[in-house]
Amino acid sequence: MSFARRAEQIALTSDKHHLRGPGVAPEAAGSSYAARLAADGTMMQSGTLSPLAYGTAEVPGLPPRPPHEHAAYGVPSGTSSAAAYAPVGEDATFSPPAELRADGAYIYPEYAPLASPPPPPAASVSELASPRASLAPSPSMDSVVLSRRRSNASQQPTLPYTKAFVDEYRTRMKSDPDPEAQYAFAMYLIEAAKRLSDPHDGPKQARRYRDSLLAESLKVIKRLATAGSPPYADAQFFLANCYGNGSLGLQVDHGKAYHLFVQASKQNHPAATYRTAVCNEVGAGTKKNHQRALLFYRKAASLGDTAGMYKLGMILLYELLGQPRNTREAIVWLRRAAGQADEDNPHALHELALLHASPQSKVVQHDEPYARDLLLQAAQLGYTPSQCKLGEAYEHGLLACPVDARTSIAWHSKAASKGDGNSELALSGWFLTGAEGVLQQSDADAYLWALRAAGKGIANAEYAVGYYSEVGIGVPVDAEEAKRWYARAAAQGHERATQRLRDLRQTNAKGANRPSRSEASDCLVM
């Protein structure tokens, strides 16, 4: 085996098809999907991408959105079209594994109390140890080209990042015309620019060398994307994303990005086909055309693109893009997407769980244990809405889960550590009451967690902060502060906040009719 081929195999720490960053995770959980869509039916949050972070697994997620606002794989109204090219994933970190019972609850070796915010506490329990049960694709999936899963970079050897090796790698590539090997070399240069550090270089020299590596990588990628018969599709896709988000020093040019997406799609590149659909849906680099977007979503799904399968399923399930509802086909695509779910694409697992959890669902069979299992799979993949949903289930004994304070707090802690407002509010409730043998009661922590959730515009949290301020829980009694928070919640239609605001305006300064502490837990009901 040639040096170039060997270098190619170990230079990339993830599969080339996962350099695409397929989309954005929905941030809300719980209510029906249709009620959480943007008015124009689009389903993707915007994000940014660092030029040097592209192709890695460490792309940070977006901060959570207000509750009942669900977004996935489209761009909401008012969002820059650059979002069509910006992959955003959740950056989840987990503690060491724990044993999992058959019912989905944890068996804990020990429990460490949650820390007071800020910063957010680490999850109080460890991540699921047992491998997730897989959803088997339907037999008809034999004809679909399945997208390859992201490999665990920590389990793969990596090439050294030294100037000497860069020079040696470059020399070898001069005699290797293989486009796949050349593309691997370009990805290595980008990673080297991020990682390489020579102690003999000063700041200016290091910056010049870094810039030279990025310029060289861009030159290679442009050549691969434009030359050859046909040009290299992965390079076209990568370059399109660079034009879309301004990576590698390029000026943002949505027209060029769209053209490259289309060219790669002509070669049946799954991710490029999906992005072509998104561009047509939101009008990025081309005129908005929902019919054309649908055609490309169908093509992406047929090519085995997980995000494309999920999006097509949602379009057909909730009559998006002007399409009639087709529940049978929608569920088929959602199940196929769930069957190849990974860290970037857990959304179908969560959506199917919500459908199976609803007693009123006429789309699928009501099956709460199955819904729980789907949520567990998504939660194991680091999906925040599923973690929050499991926290609720173990708190109230829903979805065939036993009432388990420890497990509930654990899941809410994981979700809250990534900024989920609903889980932050849930932790406020746990600190307000405490959990015997699990969590010590703390008014101060209860107030701080509610305050964090309220800062995200969650009406229940705004009401809770107002209530805490009025009663004096974790903070001195302050009627004026309570009024301000009640007013914010009332502006969102919160009935109890409206009533408390009316009562406060009618009472005198002595605080007559002030609510009692015993009623405080009621204000946290979601």
pLDDT of residue 56: 25
CB 413 within 8 A of CB 122: yes
| Local confidence band at 506 (pLDDT 50, 70, 90 cut-offs) | confident
Q: Rounded to an integer, what is the distance from CA 411 to the centroid of its chain?
A: 16
Instruction: Mark which of 340, 372, 401 sits at the end of a domain.
Output: 340
Instruction: Please give the model's pTM, rounded to 2 decimal places.
Output: 0.70
Task: Go through the chain and tell me how many residues it has.
Answer: 526
Q: Are residues 454 and 319 in the same domain?
A: no
| Local confidence band at 20 (pLDDT 50, 70, 90 cut-offs) | very low
- 3-state SS, residue 350: helix
User: Which residues are within 8 A (CB) of 526 and not within 5 positions of it... i.e. 6 or more apart?
Assistant: 392, 422, 425, 426, 460
Q: Are residues 441 and 329 in the same domain?
A: no
Taking only the tens place, the pLDDT of each residue in 305-329 is 999 999 999 999 999 999 999 999 9
Whether pLDDT at 103 is above 90 = no
Question: What does the mean pLDDT of the chain come to?
Answer: 76
Whether pLDDT at 186 is above 70 = yes
| Local confidence band at 395 (pLDDT 50, 70, 90 cut-offs) | very high
pLDDT of residue 167: 95
Q: DSSP character for 98?
A: B
Percent of the chain with pLDDT over 90: 62
Q: Are residues 218 and 324 in the same domain?
A: yes
Q: Are residues 170 and 312 in the same domain?
A: yes
Q: Is 259 a domain residue?
A: yes
What amino acid occupies position 430? W
Taking only the tens place, the pLDDT of each residue in 134-143 is 343 333 323 3
User: Nearest-CA neighbor of 170 among 207, 110, 131, 217?
Assistant: 217
Q: Count of CB atoms within 10 A of residue 415's CB? A: 31
Report the distance separating Cα 220 and Cα 255, nearest Å: 21
Whether the bond between 67 and the residue before it is cis, its omega within 30 degrees of 0, is: no
Q: What is the mean pLDDT of residues 12-38?
A: 33
Report the distance separating Cα 178 and Cα 4, nearest Å: 9
- 3-state SS, residue 216: helix
CB 98 within 8 A of CB 109: yes
Q: Are residues 194 and 305 in the same domain?
A: yes
User: Which residues are within 8 A (CB) of 490 and not within 5 positions of it... i.e. 6 or more apart?
Assistant: 497, 498, 501
Sign of the alpha-carbon torsion through 483, 488, 489, 492: positive
Q: Is 319 a domain residue?
A: yes
Provide the domain limits for residue 459: 420-526
pLDDT of residue 118: 34
pLDDT of residue 450: 97
Count helices and strands in the chain by DSSP H and E runs = 19, 2
Residue 215 burial by Cβ neighbours in a 10 Å radius (0-12, 13-18, 19+): middle
Domain total in the chain: 2
CATH number at residue 439: 1.25.40.10
Instruction: Mark which of 323, 340, 357 sits at the end of a domain.
Output: 340
What does residue 161 show for φ and ψ, rounded to 5 degrees?
A: -110, 80
Report the distance separating Cα 153 and Cα 149, nearest Å: 12
Q: Is 381 a domain residue?
A: no
Q: Is 454 a domain residue?
A: yes
Taking only the tens place, the pLDDT of each residue in 192-222 is 999 998 888 899 999 999 999 999 999 999 9
Taking only the tens place, the pLDDT of each residue in 144-181 is 223 333 334 344 457 899 999 999 999 999 999 999 99
List the alpha helices (DSSP H) in 227-325. Answer: 233-245, 254-266, 270-282, 290-302, 306-317
> Radius of gyration (Cα) for the chain, nearest Å?
25
> Looking up tokens 């999992």, which residue turns up?
100
Question: 266 or 147, which is more confident?
Answer: 266
Q: Is 286 a domain residue?
A: yes
Whether pLDDT at 283 is above 60 = yes
Taking only the tens place, the pLDDT of each residue in 454-504 is 999 999 999 999 999 999 999 999 999 999 999 999 999 999 999 999 988
Q: Is 196 a domain residue?
A: yes
Q: Is 199 a domain residue?
A: yes
Q: Are residues 329 and 428 in the same domain?
A: no
Sign of the alpha-carbon torsion through 424, 429, 434, 436: negative
Q: Is 378 a domain residue?
A: no
- 3-state SS, residue 37: coil
Q: Kindly state the tokens that stand for 342.
A: 């990974």
User: Nearest-CA neighbor of 438 among 171, 143, 108, 126?
Assistant: 108
Whether pLDDT at 31 is above 70 = no
Q: Which of 8-12, 173-177, 292-296, 484-488 has the lowest mean pLDDT?
A: 8-12
Q: Kindly state the tokens that stand for 68.
A: 């009942």
pLDDT of residue 520: 66
Q: Where are the beta strands (DSSP E) in 42-135?
A: 99-100, 106-107
Q: DSSP character for 409?
A: H
Whether pLDDT at 70 is above 60 = no
pLDDT of residue 200: 87
Q: Are residues 315 and 427 in the same domain?
A: no
The pairs formed by 201-204 with CB atoms below 8 angstroms and a separation of 24 or more are none
Q: Are residues 332 and 436 in the same domain?
A: no
Q: DSSP character for 267?
A: T
pLDDT of residue 310: 98
Instruction: Mark which of 305, 340, 375 sits at the end of a domain.
Output: 340
pLDDT of residue 362: 86
Whether pLDDT at 71 is above 60 = no
Q: Kindly state the tokens that stand for 295.
A: 């055609």
* CA distance readout (Å), 190 to 50, 53, 152, 161, 184: 11, 9, 19, 11, 10
Whether pLDDT at 408 is above 50 = yes
